[in-house]
A = this chain, B = another copy of it.
Amino acid sequence: MKDVAARAGVGLKTVSRVVNGEPGVTPETERRVQEAIDALGFRRNDSARVLRKGRTASIGLVLEDLADPFYGPLSRAVEEVARAHGALLINGSSAEDPERERELVLALCARRVDGLIVIPAGDDHRYLEPEIGAGMAAVFVDRPAGRIDADVVLSDSYGGARAGVAHLIAYGHRRIGFVGDHPRIHTATERLRGYRAAMAEAGLPVADSWVSLGSTDPERVTGAATAMLSGPEPVTALFAGNNRVTVTAVRVLAGLPRPVALVGFDDFELADLLRPGVTVVAQDAAALGRVAADRLFHRLTGATPRPARTELPTRLIPRGSGEIPPGA
């Protein structure tokens, strides 16, 4: 740092301010210090990539919904790994809008985050290629990257849904409804694929009216679930494609005169204290975040493995709602 200060013709305190991204330095001085740092190869630690331009290391996390509790443990796990590496975590939300995702990702890159963890809203991430080429590390989580070769950490959506639906079939159900998220969302279609596989394996037909994909807005989900539960041949069980759908389904079923079976993808707080307790296919959201962040920091500290796809197992937790027989 003394060499940098001497070369830039400034005091040690000024070098420290620039390195730590603190205020009170003119752009001209910052540039002089930065040039001295570049010339001398000064680094705060030995990881060149973690500390581009000498600032406090930071990583970005792009979520799709700030208010979805599923992302709470995931974000916190990423933050814990970041902190263990002395880095700050900066979050943003795409609000499930591919254009917003791109805008946010590029804004974070422009703000010099060292790496990115992305829960993608879009299905084309070629816009990140120049950044990745320039040394940015990026890991995709919960959903795969589109049209680029990148690290991906997922839950086994297909296998989890298949096991959850097979569980309902084992309890005697033949007419099972599936209410899921938008069909453009990878996890929604994977879980639907799991549902169809379980039905096919049991030799059960699937009526078109038993499947509804779309927004997880409570009104949409209420309408879809209510329609499946009505008519001459109502479904006797529901499979809910994610925690937002499950919570609304619980509310719909609580208003019915007869018990209807329910299995939901994703665990959620208080699921065990409802009556009946809600049977779920649980993902380990914290593990998703931890594995993704570990992968990112592995790259940031200089490793360059080939991009890999990791799939974490899910776990069926029977609590009562998934063990209600048809016509109970």
Contacts and interface: CB of A to CB of B under 8 A. Distances in A.
A93 B79 contact: yes
Nearest to A250: B273
B67 A22 contact: no
7 contacts: A24-B130, A66-B75, A88-B92, A88-B104, A90-B90, A254-B273, A273-B274
B269 A247 contact: yes
B92 A91 contact: yes
A110 interface: yes
Contacts of A93: 75-76, 79, 89, 91
Interface in A247-286: 247, 250-251, 254, 269-270, 273-275
Nearest to A136: B23
Contacts of A22: 106, 110
A73 B67 contact: yes
Contact of A79 (B58, B95, B270): B95
Interface in A223-268: 247, 250-251, 254
A212 interface: no
A134 interface: yes
A111 interface: yes
Contact of A106 (B21, B31, B66): B21
A134 B21 CA distance: 15
Interface string A104-116: 1011111110000
A311 interface: no
Contact of A103 (B56, B110, B274): B56
Interface in A8-37: 20-24, 31
Contact of A111 (B21, B65, B134): B21
Interface string A62-79: 000111110011011001
Contacts of A270: 247, 250, 269-270, 274
A244 B263 CA distance: 26
Of listed A107, A112, A130, residue having the most chain B CB within 10 A:
A107
Contacts of A83: 95
A131 interface: yes
A55 interface: yes
Interface string A95-130: 100000001101111111000000000000000001
A58 B106 CA distance: 12
Contact of A89 (B68, B92, B106, B110): B92
Contacts of A69: 67, 69, 72, 269
Interface in A40-66: 55-56, 58, 65-66
Given A73-B67, A79-B95, A112 B109 contact: no
A300 B21 CA distance: 22
Contacts of A76: 65-67, 93
A67 B24 CA distance: 34
Given A23-B106, A23-B130, A68-B72, 4 more contacts: A55-B107, A91-B93, A269-B270, A274-B274
A225 to B, nearest CB: 15
A249 to B, nearest CB: 11
